[in-house]
Structure 1
Amino acid sequence: MTRITSLAATSALALGLAATGAAAQTVAFLMPDQASTRYEEHDWPGFQAAMAEKCPDCTLIYQNGNGDVALQQQQFNSVLAQGATVVVLDPVDSAAAAALVEIARAQDVRVIAYDRPIPDTPADFYVSFDNEGIGYAIAQSLVEHLQAEGVPEGAGVLQINGSPTDAAAGLIRDGIDRALDASPYKTLSEYDTPDWAPPRAQEWTAGQITRFGDQITGIVAANDGTGGGAIAALKAAGTDPLPPVTGNDATIAALQLIIAGDQYNTISKPSEIVAAAAADVAVQLLNGETPEPTTELYATPSQLFVPEVVTRENIKEVIFDGGIQTAEEVCTAEYADACAELGIQ
């Protein structure tokens, strides 16, 4: 099988680390938004730690585009002006990022697409979890749960996708479609969430609750933020019991919702895994080496990692016994009893 948060958006964190590995060079790490806490809490620290081991003499620059295409382009130009020879880019807009790859190529700068692919112009390498596999896994998990609960064929589900400017969101959507299309359930309505913004997902879900009411037997949400928005809308509408809602990213908030029984699943994909892989590729490129891909996506040599679905049934084993999170971080007072019920301590 293929192995498949936030600093101010305009700030750059330049880190000179002291000297083995690649000769002293500058590597930029450009992330797309602050809607998710993962970039400051996991991706950037993971990349820093891996680079400290692999290239302690390298200078690192971190910036976050805050969901603004023009801002990310300014940041991209800025890091090139600062001498970056490798840029790890998680694009705000996957289509717009094609121009950034062309700019880099003209200056002999290598680009590693990170998490979100750049379909129109191949980067030098792509590192990510298997996004289509993620979409399929969360949706198939929900379908199997509905079947196990005896939800009749023909029942309806809502589908909340990610940002329409994010090619990774498109892959997740494709995976969701593949699972739902083969299922006995029908999609009542579908929504592409601008900028992955949870308030937009919440607003849309509220409208669908008014429209469909108890016809909604499940919600496939593409990540934990949009799933959390859907759950907030359901609670505000007084829906009881809540239909199962999916997620993706294993954020602390989502883990708490799963423990409480409000969210059905998420995806455990420790960002540090992909961050470390990106650091390894960056150092190989700095050394003039050719990283070895495990697959190819959009004509780009790629390394994709396989994530794991997390539900209330396996959350203790995967998340806590696996050392991804601690009870101290997740089992705050509000969730202490539910954690104890699952043996999380």
Structure 2
Amino acid sequence: MTRILRGAIALAGATALSLGAVATVGAAQSSAGNSAQGDIRIGLLLPESKTTRYEEFDRPYIEDKIKELAPDAQIDYYNAAESATTQQQQVNTALAKGDQVLILDAVDAKSIQSSVEKANDAGVKVVAYDRLAQGPVDAYVSYDNHKVGELQGKALLDALGDKADSGQIVMHNGSPTDPNAAEFKAGAHSVLDGKVKIGKEYDTPNWDPNNANQQMSGAISALGKDNIVGVYSANDGLAAGISTALKAAGMSVPLTGQDAQLDAIQRILLGTQTITVEKPYKPEADIAATMAVDLAEGKKLPADLTPVTVTSGSGDKVPATLLVPRVVDKDNIKDTVVKDGLYTVDEICTPAYEAACKEAGLE
């Protein structure tokens, strides 16, 4: 309950667009909450648990919001454990159980298309969450992923300063089956290309930190540690593996991330990671839950809840909300993840980080 109560405060620190979208959620609640809810059944399908956000934040936030809007709703939860095949089977199970709406965060946006089509044929609505699945999706909520990559690329360039043209960087772009990874990559390249030399560039299947560690170790061996001036990491999970490889090689260079994981915040305090990109989970979760309840009740989603249209890899046009991310660095931890209620100072500043917290003004 402590986590959930803190999470409720997170909206205060979200970006202007995030706040606008959440205000829309609040406006939609009155109609959603006044309808008969006893027959609502919603399937929640998340992709994995290696990234801490899904079990710790996304799932409870989504489930709590659904229950707030529709107290009698039945929620069927599934985690695919990084397996696209398992997720396809889970969709089949959800359809057999009679779920009217699926909130789907796809393991593999392309391979899940047949499952999305099957749901559509059965009259079941699909809300794509965080990643845009291919196929006839009914609604989508995420962050502006190209912007995430832009922010990461700019932060890396800023950290490199005059060293940008004195060596090479290594890029770790994330899972090739995740459409978001392609957008992060494109956003980063739009900033970095022509400004730095990219010595090695990797995709990392399933966002596996161990693979990222091995890739970074290989890059150090191939390029030479004195020739690497910085590392682009698409998320904090990869950054964890990368930072271990850098430490083993006795290296300290700028390193990016994303998701504002607790261990990433602590690495930022120690100086072994430069920035992360925060995408407040609660606004995204609240919007997904509201979309799902409205669709389960047979309502048409209001235009102000889906202000933009995006195109999936299969060419389908999908009404969507895209929220705005922001950079977290050592200087603004208190004004971002702490103010948003994501973590308390006590959670961040365990004994190993007390000195670094004091230096950063986290007391």
> What is the TM-score normalised by the length of structure 1?
0.91
Distance 2:154 2:36 in 1: 44
Would you say the 8 A contact 1:260–1:338 is kept in 2? yes
Letter of the 2:102 counterpart? V
Structure 1, residues 263-292: CA drift from partner, whole Å, max 9, x if none? Answer: 000011122221111011111112222222
Q: In the alignment, which of 295, 303, 307 is matched to residue 308 of structure 2?
A: 295
For the residue of structure 1 that corresponds to 2:51, the secondary structure is: coil
Query: Aligned residue for 2:136?
Result: 122
Structure 1, residues 185-235: CA drift from partner, whole Å, max 9, x if none? Answer: 111110000100000000000010111121111101000011111110011
Structure with the largest fraction of helix: 2
Q: Alpha-carbon deviation of 1:155?
A: 3.0
Unpaired runs of 5+ residues, structure 1, are 5-18
Q: In the alignment, which of 275, 291, 309 is matched to residue 281 of structure 1?
A: 291
Structure 1, residues 306-345: CA drift from partner, whole Å, max 9, x if none? Answer: 0110011211211223322101211111111111111212
Q: Alpha-carbon deviation of 1:145?
A: 2.1
- Is residue 95 of structure 1 aligned with residue 110 of structure 2? yes
- Is residue 206 of structure 1 aligned with residue 220 of structure 2? no
Query: Aligned residue for 1:256?
Result: 266
Letter of the 2:200 counterpart? S
Q: In the alignment, which of 328, 334, 337 is matched to residue 352 of structure 2?
A: 334
Distance 1:276 1:161 in 2: 28
Q: Alpha-carbon deviation of 1:139?
A: 1.1
Structure 1, residues 44-63: CA drift from partner, whole Å, max 9, x if none? Answer: 01101111211111111111
Q: Which structure is higher in RCO with an 8 Å CA cutoff and minimum separation 6?
A: 2
Residue correspondence of structure 1 range 36-115 to structure 2 within 5 A:
36-115=51-130
Q: Alpha-carbon deviation of 1:107?
A: 0.5
Structure 1, residues 19-63: CA drift from partner, whole Å, max 9, x if none? Answer: 854522110110011221111100001101111211111111111
Letter of the 1:201 counterpart? A
Distance 1:174 1:122 in 2: 25
Distance 2:322 2:166 in 1: 34
Query: Aligned residue for 1:184?
Result: 195
Would you say the 8 A contact 2:164–2:229 is kept in 1? no
Letter of the 2:299 counterpart? E
> What is the TM-score normalised by the length of structure 2?
0.86
Q: In the alignment, which of 157, 173, 189 is matched to residue 185 of structure 2?
A: 173
Change in Cα spacing, 1:271 to 1:321, as seen in structure 2 (3 Å) is: closer
Q: Alpha-carbon deviation of 1:154?
A: 5.4
Would you say the 8 A contact 2:212–2:242 is kept in 1? yes
Structure 1, residues 243-279: CA drift from partner, whole Å, max 9, x if none? Answer: 0100000000101100111100001112222111101
Structure 1, residues 102-123: CA drift from partner, whole Å, max 9, x if none? Answer: 00011000000111112x4230
Residue correspondence of structure 1 range 226-237 to structure 2 within 5 A:
226-237=238-249
Would you say the 8 A contact 2:231–2:254 is kept in 1? yes
Change in Cα spacing, 1:72 to 1:152, as seen in structure 2 (3 Å) is: closer
Structure 1, residues 151-195: CA drift from partner, whole Å, max 9, x if none? Answer: 1525311110110111111111111111111x5211111000010
Would you say the 8 A contact 1:2–1:304 is kept in 2? no
Q: In the alignment, which of 246, 253, 264 is matched to residue 243 of structure 1?
A: 253
Unpaired runs of 5+ residues, structure 2, are 1-14, 19-32, 312-316
For the residue of structure 1 that corresponds to 2:163, the secondary structure is: coil
Letter of the 2:333 counterpart? I
Distance 1:82 1:152 in 2: 55
Distance 2:187 2:294 in 1: 32
Would you say the 8 A contact 1:21–1:56 is kept in 2? no
Give the aligned length. 325
Distance 2:112 2:17 in 1: 25
Query: Aligned residue for 2:26?
Result: none
Distance 2:257 2:76 in 1: 31
Bigger CA drift: 218-227 or 327-336?
327-336
Query: Aligned residue for 2:4?
Result: none
Change in Cα spacing, 1:310 to 1:170, as seen in structure 2 (3 Å) is: same
Query: Aligned residue for 1:156?
Result: 168
% identity of equivalent residues: 37
Would you say the 8 A contact 2:170–2:228 is kept in 1? yes
Distance 2:145 2:180 in 1: 6
- Is residue 136 of structure 1 aligned with residue 150 of structure 2? yes
